[in-house]
């Protein structure tokens, strides 16, 4: 009789638990894919905007090339960053699927709001501080040493990109024989610069996949739902779909808000962006693609003269450093407290 009572009470309970967890997991995967889709579309301009705007590549070849390379970068080169997000920011042993949902919803919501309102910030910084806010709300230990390392990289990346942008622009001019002050620009030089710009745009696309996919899929590692390979692949598919389905209108609105660039400046700036971000990724960290590009383009502008720089865009980086931590922590903390009324975080 006792055995019969045990089976009648425990088995339904286990089934309910499986159904509940499976439901949460399905929702988490759906939101992660939606977030990755949004990220892929968002970064079409930062990766292939300059090659497309310069006429070095047509619209759909640009989107197709970027989508494949972003998927590849996410699948094979994102593991270090995925580990940082999934393991080293907070005590990941205690993260439930419900807690992961809080992180992704908060980051997705803030990214969408700031993008719609054209408020400059960083998706990466929003994600990291959404993780911190959730952890504080759910009483999970935060690894502040990792946050400090990330903050140092975020602060260093734009000025390093600025310096390299200045040097690479002069180096690019010398390497291809480009003379910006001269009206005599041979077709051969322009063709070479166009090919270089396309190559560095492709490198930036791969870099974006490796650097940014963990914004969406790092929660898979936190919750031990998927391996690094699977998480990167799922996120890569989301990035690819975002580029192909929503990238077109964004890419067609490409404009250089930081400086008025020529092909040599554009090639140098995009190369610096890839170098700076990939350097961070190789160490298992990530930094803002847009902030690295802003720094690089500013350096390229300095190589041509101060008059070409739009300093409001530089101020936008500083605003992002303030907005992302405050808003990310606040909304994730609030969502964690509200969610704890219904779920175990």
Higher-confidence residue of 272 and 190: namely 272
pLDDT at 184 over 70: no
DSSP for 154-203, please give it. Answer: HHHHHHHHHHHHHHHHHHHHHHHT--TT-S---HHHHHHHHHHHHHHHHH
Structural domain total, the chain: 1
pLDDT at 256 over 80: no
Bridge partners, 166 (sequence order)? none
Answer yes or no: is 12 within a domain. no
Answer yes or no: is 345 within a domain. no
Answer yes or no: is 21 within a domain. no
List the end-to-end C-alpha distance of the chain, in Å, as a whole number. Answer: 36
pLDDT at 263 over 70: yes
Spatial neighbors of 187 by CB under 8 A, at least 6 apart, are none
Model confidence at 339, in pLDDT bands (50, 70, 90)? confident
The model's pLDDT over 129-147, given as tens digits with 9 standing for 90+, comes to 999 999 999 999 999 999 9
Segment 145-157 mean pLDDT: 95
Answer yes or no: is 23 within a domain. no
Token pair in block for residue 158 = 């734009």
**What per-residue confidence (pLDDT) applies to 310?**
65
The model's pLDDT over 96-113, given as tens digits with 9 standing for 90+, comes to 999 999 999 999 999 888
Answer yes or no: is 19 within a domain. no
Which residue range(s) make up the domain with 88? 28-339
CA 156 from chain centre, in angstroms, equals: 17
Answer yes or no: is 186 within a domain. yes
Answer yes or no: is 4 within a domain. no
Answer yes or no: is 20 within a domain. no
């Amino acid at each position: 009789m006792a055995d019969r009572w045990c089976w009648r009470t425990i088995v339904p309970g286990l089934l309910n638990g499986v159904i509940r967890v499976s439901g949460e997991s399905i929702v988490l995967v759906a939101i992660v894919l939606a977030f990755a889709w949004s990220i892929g579309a968002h970064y079409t301009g930062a990766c292939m905007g300059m090659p497309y705007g310069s006429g070095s590549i047509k619209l759909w070849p640009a989107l197709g090339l970027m989508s494949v390379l972003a998927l590849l970068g996410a699948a094979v080169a994102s593991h270090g960053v995925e580990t940082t997000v999934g393991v080293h920011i907070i005590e990941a042993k205690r993260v439930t699927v419900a807690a992961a949902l809080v992180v992704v919803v908060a980051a997705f919501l803030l990214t969408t709001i700031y993008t719609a309102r054209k408020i400059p910030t960083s998706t990466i910084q929003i994600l990291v501080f959404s993780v911190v806010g959730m952890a504080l709300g759910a009483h999970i230990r935060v690894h502040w040493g990792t946050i400090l390392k990330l903050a140092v990289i975020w602060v260093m990346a734009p000025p390093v990109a600025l310096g390299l942008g200045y040097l690479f622009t002069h180096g690019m001019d010398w390497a291809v024989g480009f003379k910006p002050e001269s009206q005599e620009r041979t077709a051969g030089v322009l063709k070479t610069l166009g090919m270089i710009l396309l190559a560095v745009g492709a490198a930036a696309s791969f870099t974006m996949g490796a650097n940014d996919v963990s914004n969406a899929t790092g929660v898979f590692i936190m919750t031990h739902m998927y391996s690094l390979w699977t998480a990167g692949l799922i996120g890569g598919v989301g990035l690819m779909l975002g580029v192909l389905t929503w990238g077109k209108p964004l890419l067609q609105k490409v404009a250089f808000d930081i400086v008025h660039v020529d092909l040599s400046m554009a090639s140098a700036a995009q190369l610096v962006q890839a170098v700076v971000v990939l350097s961070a990724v190789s160490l298992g960290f990530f930094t803002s693609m847009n902030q690295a590009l802003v720094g690089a383009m500013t350096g390229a502008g300095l190589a041509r003269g101060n008059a070409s720089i739009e300093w409001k865009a530089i101020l936008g980086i500083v605003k992002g450093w303030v907005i992302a931590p405050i808003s990310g922590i606040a909304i994730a903390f609030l969502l964690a407290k509200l969610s704890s009324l219904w779920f175990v975080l």
